[in-house]
A and B are shown apart, each in its own frame.
Chain A
Amino acid sequence: MAPKPPKGHFNVLYFASAASFTSMESQPLPAPLPLRKLFDALDEKHPGMKDNILNSSLVTVNLTYVDVPEKDDDPNQVIIEEGDEVAIIPPVSSG
C-alpha cells in the first residue's frame, strides 16, 4: 500500500514496467492537476517515460478508467484532486 499523500498532493501508483522505469511503486504529486497535464508532469520527473511507458498505458483515478483528453482546453476534462489515487496501468499480462 502506498503511504497517504501529503496535504495538497495526490498519489500516482506505478505497476510493472512503470514501476521498473521509475524505480518507484508510488509518488506524490501536487494537486489539483488537470488530467491532460499528468503525462507531461510525469515525463518531467522521469525523462522518457511518456514515450516508453505512458503512451501505451491506461490511467485510472480512484479505481475508474479515465480518458486522457486530446486538447489542453477541454472544459470537461478530469481534474485530479488532493488525496486522489491515480494509477498508471501498462498492458496487462495475467494468466
Chain B
Amino acid sequence: MDPQATEIQDEGCYVGLTHDHLNAQDIMNRVRSPQAGAIVLFAGTTRDNFGGKPVKELQYSAYNPLALRTMMSICKDMRAKHGLKSIAMVHRLGPVPIAEESILIAVSSPHRQAAWRAGEEALEECKSRVEVWKREEFGGEEGGVWRANRDGIQGDKVPESAPSIPQDSGEGPFGPVIRPRRPGERGHGAVVHPKPGQ
C-alpha cells in the first residue's frame, strides 16, 4: 500500500489522492446506482507540450489533508446543487507520465443533463480551488516549472526567482485601471528588469 494514499467518504461522495495509476472502471463503480440513468466520467490526461514546448512528464504534489477537505466540499456542493446520486473525485500525485490520467471525476444522476453539468462544474471547481500543484518537467538541464490554473483557463508559469509582479490595486497613480495590468507595466510600456547578478 502507498503510505501517502488517502481518501474520505461521506453520503454519496468519495474523494481520494493516490500515487497509483487511476482506474476508470473503479471510480465508475463507486458512483453506480440502480436509481441512476447516467454516469458521466471525466478523465484528465497529461499533455506532451505546454504552448508547443515539449514536456517530458508531470509531477503533482498536494497539501493532502486540505486538498481532501476541499475536494469533499466541492463534491457535497455538486451533489446538492445538481441532485446527483453520487460523485467521486480522485487525483493522482507524484510523477505522471505523458498521456496517463492525472484526475478522474465520476458523477451519477437519474438523468443525463444533470450529470453532464455537474461533471463539468466539479472539474472547474477542482482546478480553481483544490490544493494540488503541477510541475512540468522539460527534461535535460531545463528542469521544470510550477504551473498555476489562474482564471480556470490555462496555467501561468510560476517563476522560482524573478522580478515581482505588482498587485492590481484597482486604481493606480495613472487613473482607473480599465483592463488588467500586465506584469511589469506602469503606464509607460513594459518595464525591463535586469536579471539578478547583472
Q: Which residues of chain A have a CB within 8 Å of any CB of chain B?
A: 13, 15-17, 19-21, 48, 51-52, 55-56, 60, 63, 87, 89-95
Q: Which 3 A-B residue pairings sit nearest by Cβ, starting from the closest? A: A91-B148, A51-B164, A16-B133
1/0 per position for B56-80, CB-CB distance to A under 8 A?
0000111101110100000000000
CA distance A46 to B2 in the complex (A): 33
Binds A, one of B25-33, B113-121, B122-130: B122-130
Per the bound structure, the CA–CA distance linking A63 and B37 in Å amounts to 37
Instruction: Let me know if B149 and A95 touch, CB within 8 A.
Output: yes
User: Are A17 and B128 within 8 A (Cβ)?
Assistant: no
Chain A residues whose CB sits within 8 angstroms of the CB of B65 once the complex forms: 63
Report whether B127 and A95 are in contact in the complex, using a CB–CB cutoff of 8 Å.
Answer: yes
User: B154-177 vs A: 1/0 string, CB under 8 Å?
Assistant: 011011111011010000000000
Q: Is the interface of A mostly helix, strand, loop or mixed?
A: mixed
Q: Does B147 contact A (CB under 8 A)?
A: yes
A89 partner residues in chain B, CB cutoff 8 A:
63, 66, 131
Enumerate chain B interface residues (CB-CB to A < 8 A): 44, 60-63, 65-67, 69, 91, 102-103, 123, 126-135, 146-150, 155-156, 158-162, 164-165, 167
B contacts with A: majority SS: mixed
Assess whether B160 is in contact with A21, with CB atoms less than 8 Å apart.
Answer: yes
Residues of B near A51 (CB, < 8 A) are: 164
B150 engages A15 (CB within 8 Å)? no
Q: Kindly provide the distance from the CB of A26 to the nearest chain B CB, expressed in whole angstroms.
A: 11
A59 CA to B19 CA, complexed, in Å: 26
Q: How far is A16 from B135 in the complex, measured between Cα atoms in Å?
A: 8
Q: Is the CB of A48 within 8 A of B69?
A: no
Assess whether B167 is in contact with A55, with CB atoms less than 8 Å apart. Answer: yes
Q: Complex Cα distance A90/B133, Å?
A: 9
A93 touches B63 (CB 8 A): no
Interface centre among B65, B133, B135, B155 (most CB of A within 10 A): B133
B160 close to A20 (CB less than 8 A):
yes
* Cβ contact within 8 Å between A95 and B102: yes
Q: Which residue of A lies closest to B102 (CB)?
A: A95
List chain B residues, Cβ under 8 A from A21: 160-161
Partner of B134, one of A48, A56, A93: A93
Name 13 A/B residue pairs within 8 A (Cβ), A-sorted. Answer: A15-B133, A16-B158, A63-B65, A89-B131, A92-B129, A92-B132, A93-B146, A93-B147, A93-B155, A95-B102, A95-B123, A95-B126, A95-B134
Of A16, A48, A51, A92, most buried by chain B (CB within 10 Å of CB) is A92
